[in-house]
DNA sequence: CTGTTAGCGCCTTCAC
DNA sequence: GTGAAGGCGCTAACAG
């Protein structure tokens, strides 16, 4: 590979043009130190004339910190992530940082080397979007090596991963969603869970379970399906479940994406939503308001989690010691739309 | 900001541990130069023992090229981009590069400084996803300064932006979509275009227009709406158009997202798709297959464009001179689904 | 208020 | 086959 010509102006050239030293140019550009008004003018002119921009790599090297933060997520193709990413990106930019968005799903070695490279020099902090498949030991090692790590979208406010994190109350989300169904008079409710029973959506499932129990409603294991957290996963499981248990009047789905699949599955089976079957889920991604019928769902504080995570990362990077080990975000709230209605049968 | 402790091992430390010089370690790690088998062993052990990873910033500084490629896109929240991003990311990783995903939509100064920083040192090449609002002069300047620039998703294979690009035939896409409608017997066809008449979807619109003309079907301006390229834009415009022109039997929409909005709008107006109105669009994002009815659309070669763009960027970065100024991708193809049917009235 | 000196961690060139 | 010297572009610490 032939290296490209160095057509970029360096600080030296700018300094020469302005008749000062690199230090002064550096000071002017970063507002450090005291520089005479006139000198500053001259420097600024030279900078403009040369179209100079500092080499961020060189700066990172000497400052021992990169101007970037990394966001590790499974697959950007899951519609939840773009929404989260946008908020995280905006928050990072507000702090003058660039956000490195890292798709880890298709990394060959499971992303180990990838993560180490990104953490080691490419970025100044790692924001891990919890996908239920965290390698805590790796993250701990990275943290120990000096790079701040924050886990976001943590589902259990009462269990700590041992790494700074931003959590929401997933149990309450499941509880609220289920209460809504119960309030509408449903008591034959199926569940579609986008993980294993004790997987990432375990808290949501327990919320569902506890809501039923609090109203003395029976729930049999046959009415639950533990599936892939995807549109297709929801579709397939809904077809299966609705056929097997035709007496169900409502479905609790642990996530919007499979709920959208379930919505379509119901239509495919000739069931009207919400007349024949109500569907409620959790998250409130943008698509939830665009489906037909629009999806009733329990909104989790996505934007808040993204922002708090970035803020926390910045604080950790700045060496602040009084940072909380866990930030609990606002409670989830029910967003009533058109996919749920009072029970009829 | 207190700089973090340098707990990361340096090449020097590794070299010391292995009883060699940094040069040798470097050579071993990159497979350069000749190194004795035994020495190599010792070095590798030391590397493992220290958990050493080269500092990518330092390397970028001395090599004068970063290990990252940047993807500039409007807003990651538009569902087309995550799909494109995933492919670009995978292609970049195949070349050993990291992909820096840059949301430009919310940059304060229109992203000028942002782009310059990213181009100047953070990345070794810029992939610009065409959103119809390109600042060609800026891109040219960046290119002139030595950073390769490639424009992807270019819509007109016969017009060059003056910068290396990867294009698909948007005119043909519009033509094919419209022909499909004509073949089904429609001739009162409305158009929802996600840009100004000569904006980014201008080629698609002309394809629509030319298809009608080739069959001697009249198209009056009142049947076209130039709207925001979004779900809501499509929804609103469809409501408006369908009310104003109740005799229309089909809708040509320039993009899937507004088409999805139109689909919902039709239902809101009590029109059945495709019985009362057929809808066809262009792109074939994943959502197109998940709507109800599933959307008939003309697929554009998204994955191919992403891959070719990255490949081109890599070649340009390697200083290859025999690179084409424009790469034309495969032709768009019709994907028949459930939103179109033979005309009835 | 401005300049000098030193070095961030690595790679390249050239001796040995 | 291996080592020594020099420098990438920048900022830190200190001197003046």
Mean pLDDT computed over B171-195: 98
Smallest CA–C1' separation from A35, nucleotide: C1
The residues of the protein lying within 7 Å (CB) of strand D read A 6, 8, 10-12, 22-23, 26, 29-30, 32-33, 52, 54-55, 58-59, 61-63; B 19-24, 27, 33-36, 38-40, 58, 61-62, 64
Chain B closest-CA separation from residue A186 CA (Å): 26
Q: What percent of chain A has pLDDT over 90?
A: 84
Mean pLDDT of B166-175: 98
Picking from A3, A56, A116, the nearest residue to B64 by CB comes out as A3
B56/A120 touch (CB, cutoff 8 Å), yes or no: yes
The pLDDT score that the predictor gives to residue A3 is 44
Which carries the bigger pLDDT value, residue B298 or residue B35?
Answer: B298
Q: Quick one: pLDDT band at residue B321, thresholds 50, 70, 90? A: confident
For A54-100, how does the pLDDT look when each residue is reduced to its tens digit (9 = 90+)? 999 999 999 988 999 999 999 999 999 999 999 999 999 999 999 99
Chain A stretch 21-60, residues whose beta carbon is closer than 8 A to a beta carbon of chain B:
51, 53-58, 60
Residues of B in contact with A51 (CB under 8 A): 141, 145
Cα A334 from Cα B35, distance rounded (Å): 65
Nucleotides of C under 7 A from a protein CB: 1-5, 7-13
Is B109 at the interface with chain A, CB within 8 A? no
What confidence tens digit (pLDDT) does each residue in B12-37 have?
A: 999 999 999 999 999 999 988 788 99
Closest Cα of chain A to B219: distance in Å? 30
Q: Looking at the predicted structure, is the pLDDT value of residue A339 above 80?
A: yes
Taking each helix axis as running N to C, give the angle between helix B80-94 and helix B302-317, from 0 to 180 degrees, rounded to the nearest 10. Answer: 40
Q: Quickly state the pLDDT bin for B345 (edges 50, 70, 90).
A: low
* Rounded CA separation A128/A34 (Å): 40
Residue of A9, A88, A290, A302 to mutate when probing chain B, most B C-beta within 10 A: A290
- Determine contact: A145 vs chain B, CB below 8 A: yes
Strands (E), B195-288: 224-226, 250-253, 278-283
Between residues A150 and B9, which one has the greater pLDDT? A150
Query: Among all strands, which nt has the closest C1' to A6 (CA)?
Result: D8
- What digits encode the pLDDT tens for the residues B263-272? 999 999 999 9
* Nearest by Cα to B71 from B101, B51, B45, B50: B101
Q: What does the alpha-carbon distance between residue A161 and residue B26 come to, in Å, rounded to a whole number?
A: 37
Q: Going from the N-terminus, what domains does chain B have, and what CATH number goes with each? A: 3-54 (1.10.260.40), 63-168+301-330 (3.40.50.2300), 170-299 (3.40.50.2300)
pLDDT at residue B137 in the model: 93
pLDDT tens-place string over residues A192-228:
999 999 999 999 999 999 999 999 998 888 799 999 9
**Burial (0-12, 13-18, 19+ Cβ within 10 Å), B297:** buried
Q: Which ranges of A51-154 would DSSP assign to H, the alpha helix? A: 56-63, 80-94, 112-117, 136-144
* Residue A6 pLDDT: 54
Which nucleotide minimizes the distance between its C1' and the CA of A12? D9
In this complex, the residue of A76, A100, A116 whose CB is nearest that of residue B82 is A76
B6: confidence class by pLDDT, cuts 50, 70, 90: low
> In the predicted model, is pLDDT for residue A1 greater than 50?
no
A/B interface, count of CB pairs below 8 Å: 179
Query: CA–C1' distance A88–D7 (Å)?
Result: 38
Residue B3, pLDDT score: 43
pLDDT one-digit tens code per residue, A261-289? 999 999 999 999 999 999 999 999 999 99
Residue among A66, A116, A231 minimizing CB distance to B290? A231
Under 8 Å CB-to-CB from A278, ≥6 apart: which residues?
A181, A184, A186, A249, A250, A251, A296, A339, A340, A341, A343
Distance of residue B63 Cα from the nearest chain A Cα, in angstroms: 7
Supply angle C-alpha A106, A109, A110, rounded to 5: 60
Determine the nucleotide nearest to B26 by Cα–C1' distance: C11
Cβ contact A180:A280 at 8 Å: yes
Q: Which whole number is the average pLDDT over A41-66?
A: 92
Parallel/antiparallel/unpaired status of strands B98-103 and A250-253: unpaired
Strand spans (E) along B104-233: 126-129, 149-154, 165-167, 189-193, 224-226
- The answer to whether B61 contacts chain A (CB < 8 Å) is yes
Residue B321, both tokens: 């001179």
């Amino acid at each position: 590979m032939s290296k490209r010509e160095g057509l970029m102006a360096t600080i030296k050239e700018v300094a020469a043009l302005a008749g000062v030293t690199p230090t002064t140019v550096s000071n002017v550009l970063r507002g450090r130190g005291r520089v005479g008004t006139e000198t500053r003018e001259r420097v600024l002119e030279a900078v403009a004339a040369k179209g100079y921009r500092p080499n961020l790599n060189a700066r990172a090297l000497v400052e021992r910190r990169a101007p970037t933060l990394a966001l590790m997520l499974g697959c950007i193709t899951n519609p939840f992530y773009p929404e989260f990413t946008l908020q995280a990106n905006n928050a990072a930019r507000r702090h003058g940082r660039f956000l490195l968005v890292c798709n880890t799903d298709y990394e060959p070695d499971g992303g180990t080397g990838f993560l180490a490279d990104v953490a080691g020099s490419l970025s100044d902090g790692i924001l891990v979007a919890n996908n239920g498949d965290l390698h805590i030991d790796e993250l701990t090692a990275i943290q120990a090596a000096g790079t701040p790590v924050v886990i976001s979208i943590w589902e259990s406010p009462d269990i700590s991963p041992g790494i700074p994190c931003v959590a929401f109350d997933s149990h309450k989300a499941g509880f609220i969603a289920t209460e809504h169904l119960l309030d509408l008079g449903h008591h034959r409710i199926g569940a579609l869970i986008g993980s294993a029973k004790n997987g990432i959506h375990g808290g949501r499932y327990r919320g569902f379970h506890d809501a039923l129990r609090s109203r003395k409603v029976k729930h049999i294991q046959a009415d639950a399906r533990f599936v892939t957290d995807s549109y297709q996963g929801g579709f397939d499981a809904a077809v299966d479940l609705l056929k097997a248990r035709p007496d169900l009047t409502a479905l609790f789905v642990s996530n919007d994406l499979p709920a959208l699949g379930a919505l379509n599955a119901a239509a495919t089976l000739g069931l009207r939503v919400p007349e024949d079957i109500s569907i409620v889920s959790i998250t409130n991604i943008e698509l939830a308001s665009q489906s037909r019928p629009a999806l009733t769902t329990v909104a989790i504080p996505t934007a808040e989690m993204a922002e708090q995570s970035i803020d926390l990362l910045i604080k950790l990077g700045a060496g602040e010691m009084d940072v909380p080990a866990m930030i609990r975000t606002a409670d989830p709230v029910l967003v009533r739309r058109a996919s749920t209605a009072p029970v009829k049968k």
